[in-house]
Amino acid sequence: MNTEIGFFKRLNDWVNGDEDRIFPSKNEYDSPELPEPPVAKSSLPNKDILFLSSYQVIAITVVLGLVFVLLYTVYKLPLFGVADNPAVNEVVERYVEKGLEETGAVNVVAGMILDYRAFDTLGESSVLLLAITSVMMLLLRDEKNIDPEEDLITEHEAVFEDQSRDVILQNVTTILLPAIMLYGIYVILNGHLSPGGGFSGGAILGAGLILYATGFGHNRVRKFFSMKTFRALTTTALLSYGLLKSYSFLLGANHLPTHIPLGIPGAIFSSGLIFVLDICVGLIVACTMYGFYAVFSRGEI
Amino acid sequence: MNIISELINDRFMIAAVLLFGLGFMNLLLQKNLIKKIIAFNVMDSAIFLFLASQGYINGRIAPIITNGILDSEVYINPIPSGLVLTGIVVSVSVTAFFLALTVRLYGIYKTVDFDEIMLLVDKEAE
Amino acid sequence: MMLNLLPMITILLIGLPTLMGLILLSLKPKKPQGWIMATLITTFVIAISMWQRSTGGMTVVQFTDQLSFNFAHDSISSFFLTLVQLVFIPAMLFSFEYHNHDEKAYRVYGFTLLTLAALNGLCLSNNLLTFYLFYELVTLASFPLVLHTGTIAARKAAVVYLGYSVAGAALVLAGFFLGGAPLLANFSMGGVAVSQGLMTSYAWLLIVLGFSCKAGMFPLQSWLPIAHPEAPAPASALLSGIITKAGILGILRTTYYLIGTDLLIGTRARNVMLTLSLITVFLGSMLAFKEKLLKRRLAFSSVSQLSYVIFGMMMMTPTALEGAVLQVWFHAGAKITLFLVSGAIIHYTHQTQVLDLKGIGKRFPIVMGCFTVASLSLIGIPPLGGFIAKWQLAAGALQPGTGLFGWLGVVVLLISAILTAGYLLPIVAEGFFPGLDYEMPAGPKPGWKMHLPLLALAGFLLIGGLFPVFLMQPLQSLRALLF
Amino acid sequence: MLPFYYNIPAISILLCMIAGMIMPLLPNGKVALRVAMGVSAGVALLSAILMINIIPVNEYFTYMMGHFPAPWGNELSAGPLEAMIAFIFGLVMFLSLVGGSHTIFYDILPGKQKMYFTMMSMLLASLLAMTYTNDIFTGYVFIEISTIAACAIVVARDTPKTIGSTIRYLTLSLLGSGLFLIGVVLLYCITGHLLMPNIQEQVLRLVSTGLYTVPLTVVAGLLFSGVAIKSALFPFGGWLPMAHGGATTASSAVLSGLVLKGYIVMLVKIFYRVFTIDVIRDLNVTNIMFACGLAGMIYGSIEAFREEHIKRMLAHSSMAQIGYVFMGLGLDVNLGVAAAFLQIMVHAFVKPLLFLCAGRLSEVYDHEKSSYRLRGSAHKDWIAGIGFTLGAMSMVGIPLLGGFTVKYYLVTSAMMNPAKLWPALITLMISAVMNALYYIPEVIAIWTRCELCTPNPVDSNRGFDWIAAPILSAATLFFGLNGYSLIQLIQRGLALL
C-alpha cells in the first residue's frame, strides 16, 4: 500500500470501486510465466532490527516485572527454615515415618522417588533416553551432517593421539579409574542406604568412562563399549525399568501384592525393587553421559 | 525492621528469584547461543535452589534413617529434594539437546549468533 | 396437495445442473451445447410446472433440536426460481457463440451450471441456515467465472468479489447468531413476529446489510464495478442480472418471512436501510453517468437499479413490495440484455469504451435495437416492463403512513430515472446516428445464437409491460398473505 | 481388583513409553513405523473401550500409579472428557502416521527413522499423560518430555531451516517450561501438595481464609503463561510457523493437531481440578486469555493471508485456531469452555487433514510447497484435493462441516456473556472472512489446471497413505452433523472435572 494517497482519495476510489488500494488484493498464485517465486522477505533485515530494539525493551520490562512480582510473592511466602510451613504436612510425616516399612529404603528420598512417586522418575529416565536419542539424531555422522574440515581435524587428532599419548594423563587414569569405577558402583548399590543413588552413581561411572576415553582414545573404549553395547545396555536397562515399574503400578493400583521381598532395612539386598531400579538408572545415566561425550566429540560412539 | 530481618531470613529464596530473573533475561536477550544455554542453566539452578531452600528446616538433618529415629520432627522435608533430582535430570537432557543444535548450526553457518543465524535461516530457500 | 412433488423437484433442480456441471468440468466434452440446453430446458419446465404452487417443508438433516436443513417451495420461491431458469437459457445460448473460440469454455459452462444449481437451492431453501449454505455456494460457484480469463486484473477482481461476498456472508452469519431463536425457525408468511425487541432488529440489520452486499448496496457496492468488466460478458450478465438477486431474495426472506414487518416498521434499523438504499440509488446513477467504460457503466447502473428493489422492500407497503418483485424481474431482463449486447460488441469489435461505440447501431442494428428496448425499460418508459415496476414502487412509496421517506424516495427515483436516461440513451443516439462522416467498417456479424437470446429478452420486456397480469395476479395473492 | 477399564489410562501410557523404548532394537524404520502405528491404534481402541464403559454411567475415577493413594503416590484421573481426548489423540496420531508414512521415508534418513518413531511414541505417551495426570509435577515432567520429543520430530528432517526453527522453538519452550515449573514449585510451597484434589482443598481453604492470595494469583499467571508459550498463544507464537511449516508432513500434522492441544487440555484440567474455575475467574486469568485469544485470531489470520508457502500458511492458521480455543476458555461461561473443547477436537482432525493433503499435493510436483507451484495438483491426486477442499471449507465455516458447529457454539456461548459478546462476535467474523480469503484461493489454485507444470510420475508403492484423508474428512463431517450431542457430552465431562 503506497502511503501518499490521502484518505479522501482512497474513500473516493473505494466508493466508485477503482484500483483496489483499500482492499488488500493478493495474487493467490503467481502467474506461471514467472520463472521463480519472488524471493521472500528481502526487506527482512531492517524490519528485524526494528523488531529487536523494541524486543529488547519489552523483554527487559517483562523480566523486571516478573522479578518484582516473584520477590513480592517470596515476601508473602512462609518464612525460610521454619517448621510450620504448609509444605510440612501429613505427606512428609508418612514418607518419613512409614517410609522404612513401606519401601524398605533407609534413604527416604530414594524411597520417595523410586516407590511413592516412581511414575515421575520413570518419565525422568525416559527424558534421558529422549535426550541421547535426539542428540544422536542431530550429531551422528550421515550424508546430511558432514563437515569435511571437522572430519579432517578429528582424523589428525586421532593420529596425534595414537602417536603421542599424554603420559601423565594415562598414568593418572590408570591409577584413578579403578577407584572411580568402584566408587560409582558403590554409590549406585547403596542408593537406598546412603546419599546418592542411581543418578549420582551413574554420573560417576560416566565420568570414569569419559576420563578413560580422554586418556586412551575412543578406539580403546570402543573395544568394550561399542554402539551395539551402548544400545543394548541403555535399552535393556530402560526396558527392565519400565516393565518392572509397570508391573508394580498395575498390581498396586489393583490392590494386589507384588510379592517382592523388602528384605531387612539397612541390608544391601533390601528395599525390593528400589535396589534393582537404582542399578537400571545407574546404567542408563552412565551410558547417557558417556554417549553425550562421545557423540559430541566425534559424532559416533 | 521486621522486613529487613525477613529479607535476611529469606536470603536463599530472594537469591533464587534474582538468579531466575537473571537467567530469564539472558535467555531472552543473549545473542550468543552458548550464553543462552548457560542462562538457561542458571534459570533452572535458581529454581532448584528455591526448592531446596523450601525443603530445609532449621536444625534438622537429612532424611536418611540411620539411627532408627522414625520421627518427622527430626528430618527435613524430603519431597523438594526428590523434585530437585528430577528437575536436574530434565535440565541436563535439555541442555544436551540445545548444545547439539548449537553444534549443528555452527557447522552450517559458522556462527553462534542467534540473530544472524535466524536471518540466514529465514533466507534459506527451503 | 395430492402428492408431494418437493423431493423430486428439489433433487432435479439442484442435482441435475450439479451433475451436468461436474461432468463438464471433469470430462470436458467437445460439443456439450446440446446437453447443457437440455438440462436448462428441463429445469425450466420443472420450474414452470411448479408455478405458484406451495408445498410444506421437507427436512433433510436435523442438526440440533433447532438447527435443521430444510427445503420448501412457495410463491416467492417460484417467482425467483422461474426467473432464474428463464434468464439462464438465453445467457447460456449467447455464451455458446461468445466462447466459440475459447478452448477453456467448458469451465465457464460447468461453473455456470453449478451456479444455477446453487441458485435453485437458494430459492428452495426453507430456513436461514440452508439459505446461508447455498448463499456461500453461489459465491464459490460464481467466483471462477470472474477468474476465467486468468489475467492479473481478473485475479484481483476475483479476489475482490470473493472478499466482498464472504464479508457479506460473515455479516449474515453474525446476525444469524445474534438473532438467536427467531432466526432458526423455518420461513413462514409474515414472519414469526415475536417481539424480541432491540436485539432482533439489530440482528436483522446485520443480516440485511450482509445480503445487500451481494445486491451491491452502498457501503459494500465496490465489487460490482471491479468484477463485471473482468468477467466474460455472459458471466457478468448473470452476475448482475441474477446472482445479485440472491442478496435480494435473502433480504426478502429475512424481512417478510422471518422477522415480520410489523416488528420492523419504525425501527432505527429500517430507517438506516432506507437511507442507504436511497443513497445508493442516487450514487449509482451518478457514478454510471460519469463512467466511460461500458461494462462498468452498466455495473453502476445495476448498483442503482438494485437499490430500487431494496427501497421497495424496505418501504414495507404491499404495493411497494409488488413493485420490488416486478423490478427484480424486469431489471434482470433488461440488465442481462444490456450486458449481452456489450458482450456482442466486445466479441465482434473489441470496443469497450463508450466513446468508441459511434455508429455501432448501423453495424449491428438488431443488437442495438434490443439495447434500446432494454434501456428504455430500465429508464421506465411505458409500455415496457420497467415502467410498471417503477410505477408500483412509486405508488407504494406514496401510500399513506410512509412519511418522509416516501416523498424522498419518489424524488430520488425520478432523478435517478433521468440520470439513467442520461447515461444510456446517448449510446443509442450515437450508435444509430453517428453523423454523415461515418463510414461503416466491414467485419463479421453476430449469428443467430446471439440474436435469438437478445430478441427473446427484448420481447419478454415488451410482453411483460403489455400483459403484466401473469405476474400481478400471483402478486395480489402474495400480498394478501403477507400483509 | 478393579474392573479392567480402570487400568486403561495407565496401560495406554505405559504401552506408548515401552514402545518408544524398544524402537532402537527393531531391525529398520518400516517395522518401527508399524509398531508406532499399532501402538497408537491400540491406544485409540483402548480409549474407545474406556469411553464405552464410562460415558453412559458418567463416571469419573482416579487411579493409583503404585501402591500408595493420594496424597502420597502419583495418580491418574480419567472421565468422559479425558477418554474422548485420549481417543482422538490416539486416532489422529495413527492417521497422521498412516498418511505421512510415505513422506517420512522420503524426508528422514534411514539411520534416523527408528529414532523418529521413538520420539513419536514418546510424544503420544506424554500427550496421554498430560491428559490423564492427577499430579501437577508429573504434568511438568511430561511437558518436558513432549517438548524434547516435539523439537526432535521437527528437527528429524534435518535441513538447515528445520534446525534453525527448532532452536527458536526450543528456546521459547524452555522459557515456557521454566515458568510452569516455578509455578508448580510456588504452588507446592503454599499448599504442600502435588496431587490435584489435595491442592484443591488447600486452595479453597486459602481462598476462604484470604491467606496467600498474591502467591495464588502469581501461580495461576505463571502456569497460564507457561502453557500459553508452549501452545503458541498470540504474543508467544512466533516460533510456530517455521517449526510446523518446515517439519515433515506427519510431524506438522501431529504438532498442529495434537501437541498444541495437549498443553491446553492439561491447563484446563489444572484450572478445574486445582483452582476450580470460579477461583480462576475471580483471579481474572480468563480475561487475559480472552484478550490474547482475540489478538491471536486476528494476527494469525493476517499472517496466513500474507504467506505463500502452503504449510507455513496452515501453521499460521493454527495460531488463529488456538486463538479460538482461548477465546472460548476466556468467555467465563461453561458452554464457552465446552465450545473450546469442541474446537480442540475439530481442529485436531481438520488441521492434520489439511497438512496431510497439502503434503500429498506438494508431492505431485516434486515437493514444491509454494502455493503457485501447486496449481492443478488436485487433478493429479484427487483424493488429497477433495480432502484439502473439505478441510478448507470447514475452516471457512460452511455449514454441515465441523468449523461451522464450533463457530455456532462459540457465539452462542458469547451471547451468555454480554460484556464479551461484541468483541468476540466481531473478531470471529473478521477471522472467518480472512480464513475464506486465504483458503478459497488456495483451493481454486489446486483445482486450476496448469499446462506448463510437469507432474512427477506417481510411484506405485505409496502404500495405503491415501486412506487417512477420507477418514479425517469423514470425522470433519461427523463433527459438523453431531455438534449438539457432542457439546452435551463435553459439558457432562466438564461437570465431572
SS (H, E, C) chain B: CHHHHHHHHCHHHHHHHHHHHHHHHHHHHCCEHHHHHHHHHHHHHHHHHHHHHHHCECCCECCECCCCCCCCCCECCHHHHHHHHHHHHHHHHHHHHHHHHHHHHHHHHCCCEHHHHHHHHHHCCC
CB C253, CB C187: distance < 8 Å: yes
Binned at pLDDT 50, 70 and 90, residue A289 comes out as: very high
* pLDDT tens-digit readout, A276-287: 888 999 999 999
Set of cell numbers at residue D81 = 472428557
Residue C178: is its pLDDT beyond 50? Answer: yes
Q: Contact partners of D by the rule of 3+ C-beta pairs under 8 A? A: A, B, C
pLDDT at D457: 66
- Look at D68 and A116 and tell me if their CB atoms are within 8 Å: yes
Global pTM reads 0.84
| CB burial readout D35-47, b (16+ within 10 A) else e | bbbebbbbbbbbb
Q: Among all residues of chain A, which has the CA nearest to that of C217?
A: A15
A53, A154: one domain: no
Taking residues C226-245, what's their average pLDDT? 88
Taking residues A160-184, what's their average pLDDT? 86
- Look at C222 and A15 and tell me if their CB atoms are within 8 Å: yes
Tell me if chain B has a CB within 8 Å of the CB of A175: no
B-chain CB neighbours of D185 within 8 Å are: 47, 50-51, 54, 83
Please identify among residues 39-98 of chain B the ones whose CB lies closer than 8 Å to any CB of chain A. Answer: 53-58, 60, 62-66, 70-75, 77-82, 85-86, 88-90, 92-94, 96-97
Binned at pLDDT 50, 70 and 90, residue B28 comes out as: confident
Residue type for position B103: V
Dihedral, CA atoms, C448, C449, C455, C457, nearest 10 degrees? 170
What is the number of other CB atoms lying within 10 angstroms of the CB of residue C49? Answer: 11
Binned at pLDDT 50, 70 and 90, residue A97 comes out as: confident
Please identify among residues 237-276 of chain D the ones whose CB lies closer than 8 Å to any CB of chain A. Answer: none
Residue B32 phi/psi, 5-degree rounding, is -75, 125
Tell me if chain A has a CB within 8 Å of the CB of D11: yes
* H/E run at residue C58: strand C58-62
Residue whose entry in the numeric block shows the C-alpha cell 454510471: C288
Residue type for position C430: E
Do chains C and B meet with 3 or more Cβ pairs nearer than 8 Å? no
Residue type for position A248: S
* H/E run at residue C62: strand C58-62
C-chain CB neighbours of A15 within 8 Å are: 222, 283, 287
Q: Which of helix, strand or coil describes residue D309?
A: strand
Distances (CA, A) of C241 to A3, C88, C341, C453: 37, 10, 13, 14
Taking residues C291-311, what's their average pLDDT? 89
Domain assignment present for residue A100? The answer is: no
Number of domains in chain A: 2
Residue A25: is its pLDDT beyond 50? Answer: no
Q: Tell me which residue of C427, C343, C434, C313 sits closest to C378, measured CA to CA.
A: C427
- Look at D309 and B104 and tell me if their CB atoms are within 8 Å: no
A-chain CB neighbours of C224 within 8 Å are: 17
* pLDDT tens-digit readout, D93-150: 999 999 888 888 888 888 889 999 999 999 999 999 999 999 999 999 999 999 999 9
Binned at pLDDT 50, 70 and 90, residue B56 comes out as: confident
- Look at A107 and B81 and tell me if their CB atoms are within 8 Å: no
pLDDT at C195: 56
Q: Where are the alpha helices (DSSP H) in C148-267?
A: 152-179, 181-184, 198-214, 223-230, 233-238, 244-252, 261-264
Chains A and C: how many Cβ contacts under 8 Å? 31
- Look at B13 and A99 and tell me if their CB atoms are within 8 Å: no
Tell me if chain C has a CB within 8 Å of the CB of D186: no
CA-to-CA distance for D453 and D457, rounded, in angstroms?
A: 13
Q: How would CATH label the architecture of B2-123?
A: Orthogonal Bundle (1.10)
Distances (CA, A) of C478 to A207, C53, C325, C471, C482: 93, 12, 11, 11, 6
CA-to-CA distance for A229 and A232, rounded, in angstroms?
A: 5
Residue C428: is its pLDDT beyond 90? Answer: no
Residues of chain D with pLDDT under 70: 367-368, 371-372, 451-452, 457-461
- Look at B64 and A108 and tell me if their CB atoms are within 8 Å: yes
CB C269, CB C201: distance < 8 Å: yes
Set of cell numbers at residue D232 = 503458541
pLDDT at C1: 44
Taking residues A50-58, what's their average pLDDT? 70
From chain B, which residues contact D within 8 Å (Cβ)? 20, 24, 27-28, 33, 36, 40, 43-44, 47, 50-51, 54, 79-80, 83, 86-87, 90, 93-94, 97-98, 101-102, 104-105, 108-109, 114, 117-118, 120-122, 124, 126
pLDDT at C31: 80
The DSSP line for D84-121 is: HHHHHHHHHHHHHHHHHHHHHHHHS-HHHHHHHHHHHH
Phi-psi region of B114 (alpha: psi -120 to 50; beta: other; left: phi over 0): alpha
CB C182, CB C258: distance < 8 Å: yes
Residue of D302, D394, D395, D404 to mutate when probing chain C, most C C-beta within 10 A: D404
How far the first Cα of chain B sits from its last, in Å, is 62
pLDDT at A73: 86
- Regarding predicted confidence, which is higher, D366 or A203? A203
pLDDT at A41: 42
Provide the domain limits for residue A18.
7-76
C-chain CB neighbours of D428 within 8 Å are: 174
Binned at pLDDT 50, 70 and 90, residue A38 comes out as: very low
Tell me if chain C has a CB within 8 Å of the CB of D376: no
Looking at CA atoms only, how far is residue B67 from chain D in angstroms? 24
Q: Which of helix, strand or coil describes residue C125?
A: strand
* H/E run at residue C431: helix C404-432
Please state whether beta strands C58-62 and D74-78 pair in parallel, antiparallel, or not at all (unpaired): unpaired
- Mean pLDDT lowest among A126-135, B57-66, C296-305: B57-66
Taking residues C313-328, what's their average pLDDT? 88
pLDDT at C361: 80
Q: Tell me which residue of D289, D300, D313 sits closest to D424, measured CA to CA.
A: D289
Distances (CA, A) of D41 to D18, D121, D124, D470: 15, 11, 11, 17
* pLDDT tens-digit readout, C455-474: 888 998 888 888 888 888 88
Cross-chain CB nearest to C170 (options D400, D429, D483): D429
How far the first Cα of chain C sits from its last, in Å, is 24
Q: Which of helix, strand or coil describes residue A240?
A: helix
3-state secondary structure labels for all residues of D55-83: CCCCCCEEEEECCCCCCCCEEEEECHHHH
Measured in whole angstroms, how far is the alpha carbon of residue A289 from the centre of its chain?
11
A66, A205: one domain: no
Taking residues B98-121, what's their average pLDDT? 87
Taking residues C265-292, what's their average pLDDT? 87
- Regarding predicted confidence, which is higher, B118 or A286? A286
Taking residues C150-160, what's their average pLDDT? 83
Looking at CA atoms only, how far is residue D188 from chain B in angstroms? 9
- Look at B64 and A107 and tell me if their CB atoms are within 8 Å: yes
Domain assignment present for residue A84? The answer is: no
CB C108, CB C95: distance < 8 Å: yes
Q: Which residues contact C308 (CB under 8 A, 6 or more apart)?
A: C281, C324, C327, C331, C389, C390, C393, C413, C416
A132, A268: one domain: yes
pLDDT mean across residues, chain C = 85
- Look at A106 and B94 and tell me if their CB atoms are within 8 Å: no
A69, A111: one domain: no
The angle, 0 to 180 degrees and rounded to 10, between the axes of the packed helices C268-290 and C294-315 is 160
Residue of D306, D431, D433 to mutate when probing chain C, most C C-beta within 10 A: D433
Cross-chain CB nearest to C166 (options D407, D425, D436): D436
- Look at A17 and C155 and tell me if their CB atoms are within 8 Å: no
Phi-psi region of D63 (alpha: psi -120 to 50; beta: other; left: phi over 0): beta
Set of cell numbers at residue A5 = 494517497
pLDDT at A183: 94
Instruction: Write down how long chain A is.
Output: 301
- Look at A23 and C163 and tell me if their CB atoms are within 8 Å: yes
Distances (CA, A) of B74 to B55, B59, B69, B78: 13, 8, 8, 12
CB C280, CB C304: distance < 8 Å: yes
Residue C86: is its pLDDT beyond 50? Answer: yes
CA angle D101/D107/D109 to nearest 5° reads 105
A49, A151: one domain: no
* pLDDT tens-digit readout, C104-142: 888 888 899 999 999 999 988 888 888 998 998 998 888
The angle, 0 to 180 degrees and rounded to 10, between the axes of the packed helices D260-270 and D334-364 is 170
Q: Among all residues of chain A, which has the CA nearest to that of B72?
A: A93
CB D167, CB B33: distance < 8 Å: yes
Q: Contact partners of A by the rule of 3+ C-beta pairs under 8 A? A: B, C, D
- Look at B44 and D178 and tell me if their CB atoms are within 8 Å: yes
pLDDT at B119: 85
Q: Which residues contact A215 (CB under 8 A, 6 or more apart)?
A: A165, A166, A169, A170, A172, A173, A174
A-chain CB neighbours of D12 within 8 Å are: none
- Look at A97 and B70 and tell me if their CB atoms are within 8 Å: yes
- Look at B63 and A64 and tell me if their CB atoms are within 8 Å: no
A164, A43: one domain: no
A70, A120: one domain: no
Looking at CA atoms only, how far is residue C117 from chain A in angstroms? 26
- Using the 8-state DSSP alphabet, how is residue D283 labeled? T
Q: Where are the alpha helices (DSSP H) in C222-359?
A: 223-230, 233-238, 244-252, 261-264, 268-290, 294-315, 318-349
- Using the 8-state DSSP alphabet, how is residue C186 labeled? B
B-chain CB neighbours of D161 within 8 Å are: 121, 124, 126
Residue A196 phi/psi, 5-degree rounding, is 110, -150
CA-to-CA distance for D232 and D349, rounded, in angstroms?
A: 18
Q: Hey, where are the domains in chain C?
A: 281-483
